[in-house]
Every structure is written in C-alpha cells, then in structure tokens.
Amino acid sequence: MPVSYRDIAAALRQQISEGRYEPGDKLPMLTELQAEWGAGYQTVRSAIALLEQEGLVEAVRRRGTIVRERPGKRRVTRSREVYRDELGYYFDPAAQPWVALEPPTVQWGVVPVDVASLMELPLGAEVLIRDRLMGDPDTREPKQLATSYLPAEVARGTRLAEPDTGLGGIYDRLEEMGHRPLSWREGVTARMPSPDEAAALRLPPDVGVPLLRVVRITASPTGQIVELNDTRMSAEEFEIGYSIGRHESARLPGEENDRAGTDR
C-alpha cells in the first residue's frame, strides 16, 4: 500500500514531539524525504504543508523547513471574580497592566449571527461595536483584541457611543444609566483567526495558530443583556487557568467542618 502524506506527517510530528527535531532544527530536504519514504514530490510536500498548518514548522528562505520556536504559555486566570482599580472594573489580573495600543474603533453595525443569539437579539439588529487592541505599554506588543457589542436601544445617544467613555469605561457608564449592579457570565471557546485578526496580533503568517475566545455577557438586574464582550488572544501564547475546589461529595472524612463552603 503506497505511503500517504498523512503517514509522513505523522512520523515527522512524532519525531518533533519526542525532541529528535528541536526548535530551530532543519527537517530533511524534500528530495531526502522522497528517497526515505519512496514517495512522490507532491506527497512529501503535502506532508510538510500539513505540519505548517499545524504550526509545527515553517519554511525559511534559503534554509528550508525549520521546526518552529513555540513561546512559553502565559496563564490567564479566570477566578470567577470581577476586580476593580482606579480605572474601573477588570476581569483578569494578568491583563490589568495592558493598555489600548491605538484609539478604539467605534461604529454602528449589524450584530453578527453568532453574537445575536447570545445577546437575545433578532438577526439584523443594530448594535454599537467598540473594537480595541490591547497590549504591553512598554514593548507595544499586541496581546488581545476586545470587541464590545451594545444594543442600539441601550447605547444610542449616550456617551457609550463616544470614543472616550471616561473614567471607569462603559461599565461605569452603564451603571450610571440605571443598570446597577451589573452581573457577568462568560464562556471560553477557540477558533481560527481571520487575516485581519492574525495581522493585528502579529501571529505568524501561513501557520495554524488558533485564537482563544473569551465571550463575556453583561446583564442588568432585570436580566437585560446590555453588552457582550468578545476577547481574542493567541492560543499559542496564552492558556486559560483556574483552581479546582472540592465539592461536598468529594470531601475527605472529617473535612466538612474545616472546609465548608471553600469551593463556593
């Protein structure tokens, strides 16, 4: 049975995983792989292309196919709490020092299909869209894209639609408008970036680096959804972390009195 490009890719992937090829090492030339596997040029080229899509290797001009350096993961801790400092509410202590690297983009538009259902809005509904690129204030390196969607009935004619919403940002303005106290819930998913997202976050071109997507929904005490925040960051650079507590069903004997309620 002739060898397939997936067979070749699987073998090379295993060798990279085991450290036989380390970051910065050069893989065998295509002609060498052809001879080793008894395969045609297109077969070995497709195998290398698959590894490129997975972000394991990259083609470097005049060097060949190189095993990619993978950045160390930085943990984004979701502690199920909201914090506050002199600038307003924030949700991730690791991201607290980050700043907007450019002025926010503020525009009216149609709610995306996947966002409409989460916001309980009809398809085609108008929303205010606020886009921000956040990053390190010293290096100016981008770290995350954050997009807020606010229902037109909530935001129209208010400071929420202005580029500068003032100290405390949109959440302070929403609470001042009578939506106090706000509450939040969020979910984490992943997807591939669009070309614009990849460029903004400086993700390596032609490499399959997915985005972590944290979607946070903001609601008023009546249950009205007043904002949805869609934050995207490199899944190669960041991971989502959280602590795990013991449910009462998993407590050790004699532990009930000592640790009651610590996982709540």
Residue 184 clears pLDDT 90, i.e. is over it: yes
Better-predicted residue by pLDDT, 92 or 187: 187
Return the closest-CA partner of residue 183 out of 68, 80, 32: 80
pLDDT grade for 245, boundaries at 50, 70 and 90: confident
CA dihedral defined by 178, 182, 187, 193, rounded to 10 degrees?
Answer: 50
Q: What's this model's pTM, rounded to 2 decimal places? A: 0.73
Better-predicted residue by pLDDT, 18 or 47: 47
| Residue 227 amino acid letter | E
CA distances for 106 relative to 98, 103, 161, angstroms: 20, 9, 7
Return the closest-CA partner of residue 234 out of 148, 143, 146: 143
Taking only the tens place, the pLDDT of each residue in 65-94 is 999 886 665 656 555 678 888 888 888 787
Residues 82 and 161 sit within 8 Å (Cβ to Cβ) = no
CATH numbers and ranges of domains, the chain: 5-67 (1.10.10.10), 74-241 (3.40.1410.10)
Which pair of structure tokens corresponds to residue 2? 């002739």
Return the closest-CA partner of residue 209 out of 226, 234, 232: 234
- Cα–Cα dist 88/231, whole Å: 18
For residue 194, what pLDDT is reported? 84
Residue 227 clears pLDDT 90, i.e. is over it: yes
